[in-house]
Amino acid sequence: MKKSNLFVQRSINIIVKKLALSVLFFGMISLISAQQSPQYTQYMYNTQIINPAYAGSRETLSLGLLGRYQWVDLEGSPKTGTFTVNLPVGFYDNMGIGASIVHDQIGPAIESNAAIDIAYSLHLARRNVSKLSFGLKAGVDMLDVDYSKINLFNPNDPFFQNNVDSKIQPQVGAGIYYNTQNFYTGVSVPNFLSTQHYDEQSLVDENIDGIVVERLHYFFIAGYVFDLSPNIKLKPATLWRLVSGAPIQWDLSANFMFNEKFVIGASYRWNASISGLLGFQISNSIFAGVGYDYQSTAIEDYSNGSYEVFLRFDIFNQSEKIVAPRFF
């Protein structure tokens, strides 16, 4: 029986790692396009927003706050704030629940989202903390657009006469997340339903009227923690976002952690930006991170980059869980 379980575990590990390498290859030869939903440079710390199966995976009550100011000094540029909370539940901590709130302001539009996340985990190997989790996300989106804040070429254009006031739309998504002590990967679709929202690309392209139908977003994430020495860890991580009718968006990052405290790294978004990342494990329970994006496109001529700040609070129930802060 034990040999059978070991064979299953090894088979799953091999399949998952081969999938990660395959997607990485295809992501490297793809180009990105403008996103329909908020993007995050510190995506490796904000996993729950895009994948509900992450809920409860930190095995403690975990709260996260992220603020992003994109394209500083560009009028109407995106400003995003997120809040997440999740914790494990169940007799064997084999379930996780969580909630998230996203507030996104783009030009004349304000989009808000509130969602509940539920995850169920299969413990494939307790000794190696190998888990496969399945998650569901359900929530609502609210959209407000005030066209009076736009400098219109034709103020009498009938399209812009009626504002969008508190347009409520449902959200239903799902995801799969697999992790061991050093490796994680996941696939997800945060929203299966077609919803209307304001597209930030309209800020830089006058031929786009602003309100678009959101298409399905498919996300793939992966990362691995290498123990280079007793005091140094290296974690490369990646994210792909596939939107129907558009090229793949690909992010690749690498972070070093020193003495379980200080984190420094860099990130590259294909054909879009280069980022610097800093983090500090203030205590066993508190982690803070900042990120700066330098745009590698023409938009850098009109803005002063993008900034992000992240805070995570882990509230532990058992002292043995805080021997070393987890790097993902």
Collapsing DSSP states into helix, strand and coil, what is residue 87? strand
* Signed CA dihedral, 41, 208, 215, 244: sign only: negative
Q: Provide DSSP, 144-190.
A: EE-GGGS--SSTT-GGGSS-EEEEEEEEEEEEEEEE-SSEEEEEEES
Q: For position 268, what pLDDT does the model report?
A: 96
Which is more confidently placed, 233 or 248? 233
Percent residues over pLDDT 70 in the chain: 76
**Options 3.40.640.10, 3.30.497.10, 3.40.50.300, 2.40.160.40; CATH of 45-198+209-315:** 2.40.160.40
Q: What are the structural domain ranges in the chain?
A: 45-198+209-315
Q: How far apart are CA 2 and CA 188, in angstroms?
A: 32
pTM: 0.80
Which is more confidently placed, 145 or 81? 81
> Among residues 139, 67, 64, 50, which one has the least CA distance to residue 103?
67
Q: How far apart are CA 307 and CA 152, in angstroms?
A: 29
Q: How far apart are CA 293 and CA 311, in angstroms?
A: 18
Locate the DSSP E strands across the chain.
Answer: 61-69, 79-89, 95-106, 109-125, 130-145, 164-179, 183-189, 195-198, 211-214, 217-224, 226-229, 232-243, 249-258, 262-269, 273-281, 286-295, 306-315
Q: For position 121, what pLDDT does the model report?
A: 93
Contacts of 81 (CB under 8 A, 6+ apart): 65, 66, 67, 68, 102, 103, 104
Span 15-32, pLDDT tens digits: 444 443 333 333 332 322
Residue 9: band (very low, low, confident or very high) from pLDDT cuts 50, 70, 90: low
Cα dist from 204 to 51, 133, 247, 277, whole Å: 29, 40, 19, 27
Task: At 284, give phi and psi (nearest 5°).
Answer: -60, -20
Residue 265: band (very low, low, confident or very high) from pLDDT cuts 50, 70, 90: very high
Q: How far apart are CA 9 and CA 2, in angstroms?
A: 11
For the cut 70, the answer to whether the pLDDT of residue 10 exceeds it is: no
Span 189-235, pLDDT tens digits: 999 987 655 555 544 444 444 555 566 889 999 999 999 999 999 99
Q: How far apart are CA 174 and CA 217, in angstroms?
A: 11
Task: List the Cα angle 299/35/242 in 5-degree steps.
Answer: 135
Q: For position 15, what pLDDT does the model report?
A: 47
